[in-house]
Amino acid sequence: MMSRKPAAKAALEPSGATLFFNRELSLLEFNRRVLEQAKDDSVPLLERLRFLCIAASNLDEFFEIRVAGLKQQLAYGATQRGPDNLSPGEQLQRISERVHDLVDDQYRVLNDTLIPALEAEHIRFIRRADWAKRHADWIKRYFARELVPVLSPIALDPAHPFPRVLNKSLNFIVTLEGKDAFGRNSGMAIVGAPRSLPRVVALPESVSQGPNDFVFLSSIIHQHVSDLFPGMKATGCYQFRVTRNSDLFVDEEEIDDLKRALEGELSARRFGDEVRLELADHCPEEVEEFLVRQFELEEDDVYRCNGPVNLTRLMAIPDLIDRPDLKYPGFASGIPARVRRNDDIFDVIRRGDLLLHHPFESFAPVIDFLRQAARDPNVLAIRQTLYRTGADSAIVKALVDASRRGKEVMVVIELRARFDEEANIELAETLHEAGAHVVYGVVGHKTHSKMMLVVRREGRMLRRYVHLGTGNYHARTARLYTDYGLFTCDAAIGDDVQKMFQQLTAMGRVARLKKLIQAPFNLHKHMVDLVNAEAERARAGGQGRIIAKMNSLVEPELIQALYSASQAGVVIDLIVRGVCCLRPGVEGVSENITVRSIIGRFLEHTRIFYFENGDEEELLYLSSADWMDRNFFRRVETCFPIEDRRLRQRIIQESLQGYLTDNAQAWLLQADGTYRRVSAGNARRRSAQETLLKSLAERA
């Protein structure tokens, strides 16, 4: 493992606002790193377009949840400050400045880089000024056939008040001249584009120069908007889009049925308070002022867009284009040899713990495990947590099959998985109808742990088979996110998982677990204790060492413990994909801490915690939890040790050492809060994700 010299002893205390980055601004820094992928010539062109769309989608959720929450705090007069000592108002001001720059950069990337590069590959977005007669004629027929029947123009007058537009829907505000059949003209109208309409329309080969010529829906509506107001003239047509507060509120002390309460809140999400207005950059100021008044927003809440106001909807384009040379190479997730050679997954697990590293290794063994359990007459019971599973889930189908075959099936579904609430309610109904027992976890705590327990009769004994993971039971995201899953029939772990399910489905005091560490009860204390133990060894003259990989690092007490460990001389490497509130490289405090972020083809999602542990055997844990307040104190989370030395060394090599030496997709956090991309220079290029694809997966 790597080592560095201990830091000089310093009197500076490891606390104070200057030592904590703001969570929201750190999240925007992550989004900037995602956007940088859209500029990277080494990324295939259509994948660069995807990264642009991902950055736009991330901003949507940022406003729907994070900005909306800050605006609520401001409206309620909240004065509480976080570890960074920024008030809600100060945060909103800084967010506005950063996001305006970020949005401008997004459209520069689209207009100045991606569109010209796509055109060079004969993928064209034909603007109205460039329409030939054949284009215009076909588009006019398309407008009359496909758009007119579903568009609902609303003139604004006393009988037609300003409509309450849906969250993130595409709309147009139209300025008009002339009078209609009733002699009316308020001068303005709203045209909403139904979500069923594609935002990018492919031109048929009969009128195009090739198979990949497109026009934007907004261009079609702009061209023919006057046709929606017969006898009148549209003097202007401007896209706009409103983002609303989408955080669901459920008073958990007052409800008696969480499912019914959430169902009532879901419909309200579409019409929450307005938090952002996106607007065409050529919209006149008086029209902007009119919209700002309608939505009760401020000037800082308006974002001018030099192009389609909803970049997220461009995500469909790569799927419309058959150009494998402009996409990431296909691959087939690998199947471990032990699994390939033995059709009996229970026998495989009995012979030793089985570790899967997704997406490099297939998620199929997880599904097969559940399918075998459903069909096996010796299986008596199945327990599972579900957080996000997908609309057409093979996992859910296997659970339904198991229940119909008479197994005792108990499923803990987290209804409050953000933006998956409706899908999870439907899953709950499906499982209920199949006869499974379905519960919704613990009111006040999201069930975020990833656990599966199968109880099987083998001779005169009952054996428990367990699957624990860092990611969701979702076959699609298992192709996109990096995650670990562990199969084991270790008796102590099986007993711990059973106790955790009992906590979730019944009532009683906290059970004493033998090997698992559990939030909200002891995970935070355990992690702090492990960090402090490394610090004590370093103070005693030993070599402390910590490596932690996670999505987010926010929790102040743990950050302070890491600062103290750094001051003691512990060498600390943090691999944090997204938000990081810890400030590395501060003299006398965090000189021994490095923070890097890996942004690549796959979304980094594994949570891995390594402690050198002095002369004893090193400690390594996998977890469903990030180092955040919500994970430690407001969620049910699982953290589990990897005790098999071979598997432990494999994880260290694949996901710690491999990522610490990445010089292709790594970014280093600087003391000022910015990130610097790691350069290979004259050294050999090393990408952790690409290395794992080569070693674990199979090229398609």
Active site residue 448: yes
Would you say residue 700 has pLDDT above 60?
Answer: no
C-alpha dist (Å) from residue 516 to 387, 497, 499, 623, 643: 20, 8, 10, 10, 12
Query: Is 136 a domain residue?
Result: yes
Residue 250 has pLDDT above 90, yes or no: no
CATH number, domain containing residue 588:
3.30.870.10
Q: Are residues 384 and 528 in the same domain?
A: no
Integer CA distances (angstroms), 631 to 121, 446, 498, 554, 626, in order: 46, 9, 21, 10, 6
For the ranges 107-121, 185-199, 597-611, which has the lowest average pLDDT?
185-199
Out of 58-62, 509-513, 565-569, which region has the weakest mean confidence (pLDDT)?
Answer: 509-513
- Stronger pLDDT, 9 or 377, i.e. the higher one: 377
Q: Does a structural domain hold residue 208?
A: yes
Q: What is the pTM of this model?
A: 0.91
Please say which residue of 294, 326, 358 terminates a domain.
Answer: 326
Same domain? For 508 and 404 the reply is yes
Same domain flag for 373 and 316: no
- Out of 224, 357, 445, 448, pick the active-site residue: 448
- 318 — pLDDT class (breaks 50, 70, 90): very high
Q: Does a structural domain hold residue 339? A: no
Determine the structural domain holding residue 175 and report its residue range. 23-326
- Asked if 507 and 529 sit in the same domain, the reply is no
| Domain end residue (candidates: 483, 512, 541) | 512
The CATH number linked to 321 is 3.30.1840.10
In tens, the pLDDT along 285-312 reads 999 999 999 999 999 999 999 999 989 9
Residue 40 resides in a domain: yes
In a domain, 281, yes or no: yes
Length of the chain (residues): 700
d(CA 625, CA 608): 10
Residue 310 Ramachandran class (φ > 0 left, ψ -120 to 50 alpha, else beta): beta
Question: Do 416 and 545 belong to one domain?
Answer: no
Confidence at residue 419, expressed as pLDDT on a 0 to 100 scale: 53
Classify residue 381: in a domain, yes or no: yes
Buried-state track 29-65, b at ≥16 Cβ within 10 A, e below 16: bbbbbbbbbbeeeebbbbbbbbbbbbbbbbbbebbbb
Residue 182 shares a structural domain with residue 276: yes
> According to the model, what pLDDT value does residue 185 have?
67
Q: What percent of the chain has pLDDT over 90?
A: 75
Dihedral sign for Cα 139, 141, 142, 148, please: positive
Q: What are the pLDDT digits (tens) for 489-515?
A: 999 999 999 999 998 888 777 778 999
Between 259 and 83, residue with greater pLDDT = 83
The per-residue pLDDT for 159 is: 65
Phi and psi at 228, nearest 5°, equal: -80, -10
> Within a domain: residue 444?
yes
Q: Is the pLDDT of residue 10 over 60?
A: no
Name the band, by pLDDT with cuts 50, 70 and 90, for residue 13.
Answer: low
Mean per-residue pLDDT, 475-479: 91
Residues 304 and 382 in one domain: no
Q: Are residues 349 and 289 in the same domain?
A: no
d(CA 377, CA 176): 72
Lowest mean pLDDT across 283-287, 446-450, 535-539: 446-450
Tell me: do 411 and 531 sit in the same domain. Answer: no
| Domain identity same for 319 and 438 | no
Q: Which of 10-24, 46-60, 158-172, 257-271 has the highest mean pLDDT?
A: 46-60
**Taking a C-beta distance cutoff of 8 angstroms, is the pair 242, 168 a contact?**
yes
* pLDDT band, very low/low/confident/very high, at 441 (cuts 50, 70, 90): confident
User: Tell me, what's the pLDDT at 256?
Assistant: 44
Predicted local distance difference test score (pLDDT) of residue 16: 65
The answer to whether the CB of 610 falls within 8 A of the CB of 631 is no
Rounded mean pLDDT of the chain?
Answer: 90
For residue 479, the cross-strand partners are none
- Pair 407, 379: CB distance under 8 Å: yes
504 and 528 part of one domain: no
Mean pLDDT check: name the lowest of 6-15, 361-370, 408-417, 505-514.
6-15
Domain boundary among 493, 512, 531: 512
Give me the number of domains the chain comprises.
Answer: 3
Query: Would residue 1 count as lying in a domain?
Result: no
Looking at the structure, do residues 291 and 355 belong to the same domain, yes or no?
A: no
